[in-house]
């Protein structure tokens, strides 16, 4: 079972939720307007093909809308992939600190999860390829990964794909792609365009600030998109989500505001945490993985209690294999500075 980031603090304490990698900037004003307009026709069913949303995505990214599918968050699409390509006796590979939904979707499809070790919190291409068997049908790869914030350069992704047989589908989960500022990174669009067994998933829940509406999308070969469309529900994306997502996708100025904010505060937060003597896994996302001291009273669990009492809610990541770390979302200036100040007090 997937457990979301907590959002409760003591009564009377102001909440600063930094546990779910939500956007501190919020959604595009155009998206908010679009939702308002959509509510004037709530008696009508939504477009079952999400045509307007797919065309907006295609226009911005220079893609063919027929190769795009939209879903109730990228979680639904990951589940559709598992239900479409996995059955009893099949295997799906993902890395030890990968997104928890990969395991859930694999088990729900009756297949076997195969977990491979990472190398210093990074996906290890050689370890993944070594785990492939004739029963392997899917390889899930979050790039960048949550909760580590690490990524694989495009050359490593190509090497991974080159080592897979044609019956294995490579699923590139690029939920945090918009935040990455590295010359050797690609979201997966190019890989999909040149291959028949690669699909990329994306989300509106992070940088677009539309987590409440649950909008995800995937870009893949036509035969894969057709297969997923036969499996999904007929009205899996609601009208408000279609309208808001379409507007948000086209608002490049608002997107840039979110990117600039994250670029600035990712560096500031990382530097400040390290200055406090804490180890931080280098991140290219909108969050950082903070490793605490193996000292009684100064552990991640202790810090989590201390911070929550003061209204600063981070994410415990024990379920991801990090018993002594917390993941901190890059939030507003107030939330970031408040968390850092509270951690300084905690560690003193």
CB atoms within 10 A of CB 301: 13
Q: Per the structure block, which two tokens stand in for 128? A: 């993944």
CATH topology identical between 16-25+253-347 and 29-250: no
Q: Are 237 and 89 in contact (CB under 8 A)?
A: no
The pLDDT of residue 8 is 72
| pLDDT for residue 10 | 83
CA–CA gap between residue 315 and residue 301 (Å, rounded): 10
Integer Cα distance of 203 and 208 in angstroms: 8
Return the HEC string of 80-135: HHHHHHCCCCCEEEEECCCCHHHHHHHHHCCCEEEEECCECCECCHHHHHHHCCCC
Contact partners, residue 99, CB within 8 Å, separation at least 6: 140, 142, 145, 146, 173
Residues 6+ apart with CB under 8 A from 72: 214, 215, 216, 236, 237
pLDDT of residue 41: 86
Q: Decide which of 3.40.50.920, 3.40.630.90, 3.90.650.10, 3.40.640.10 is the CATH code for 29-250.
A: 3.40.640.10
Report the C-alpha gap between 256 and 210 in whole angstroms.
Answer: 16
According to CATH, the topology of domain 16-25+253-347 is 3.90.1150
pLDDT value for 197: 98
The residues with which 291 forms a beta bridge, in sequence order, are: 279, 325
pLDDT attached to residue 12:
87
> What's the confidence (pLDDT) of residue 11?
79
Domain ranges of the chain: 16-25+253-347, 29-250
Q: What pLDDT shows up at residue 3?
A: 60
Q: What confidence score (pLDDT) does residue 9 get?
A: 76
Q: What is the mean pLDDT of each run of 10 residues along the chain (348 residues)?
A: 63 93 97 93 94 98 98 97 98 97 98 98 98 98 98 98 97 98 97 97 98 98 98 96 98 98 98 98 98 96 98 97 98 98 97
């Amino acid at each position: 079972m997937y457990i979301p980031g907590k959002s409760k603090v003591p009564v009377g304490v102001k909440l600063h939720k930094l546990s779910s990698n939500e956007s501190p900037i919020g959604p595009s004003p155009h998206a908010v307007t679009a939702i308002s307009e959509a509510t004037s026709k709530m008696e009508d069913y939504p477009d079952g093909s999400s045509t307007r949303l797919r065309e907006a995505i295609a226009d911005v990214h220079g893609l063919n809308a027929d190769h795009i599918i939209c879903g109730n968050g990228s979680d639904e699409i990951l589940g559709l992939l598992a239900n479409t390509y996995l059955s009893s006796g099949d295997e799906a590979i993902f890395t030890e600190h990968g997104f928890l939904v990969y395991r859930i979707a694999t088990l729900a499809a009756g297949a076997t999860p195969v977990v491979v070790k990472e190398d210093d919190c990074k996906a290890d291409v050689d370890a993944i390829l070594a785990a492939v068997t004739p029963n392997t049908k899917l390889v899930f790869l979050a790039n960048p990964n949550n909760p580590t914030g690490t990524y694989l350069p495009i050359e490593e992704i190509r090497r991974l794909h080159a080592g897979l047989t044609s019956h294995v589908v490579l699923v590139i989960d690029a939920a945090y792609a918009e935040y990455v500022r590295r010359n050797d990174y690609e979201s997966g669009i190019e890989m999909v365009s040149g291959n028949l067994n690669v699909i990329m998933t994306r989300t509106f829940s992070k940088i677009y600030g539309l987590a409440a509406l649950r909008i995800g999308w995937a870009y893949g070969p036509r035969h894969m998109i057709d297969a997923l469309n036969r499996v999904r529900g007929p009205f899996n994306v609601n009208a408000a989500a279609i309208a808001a997502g379409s507007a948000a996708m086209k608002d490049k100025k608002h997107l840039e505001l979110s990117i600039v904010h994250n670029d600035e505060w990712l560096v500031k937060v990382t530097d400040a945490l390290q200055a406090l003597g804490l180890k931080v896994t280098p991140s290219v996302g909108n969050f950082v993985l903070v490793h605490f001291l193996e000292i009684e009273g100064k552990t991640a669990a202790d810090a989590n209690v201390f911070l929550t009492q003061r209204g600063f809610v981070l994410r415990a990541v024990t379920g991801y294999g990090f018993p002594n770390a917390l993941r901190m979302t890059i939030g507003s200036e107030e939330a970031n500075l408040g968390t850092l100040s509270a951690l300084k007090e905690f560690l003193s």
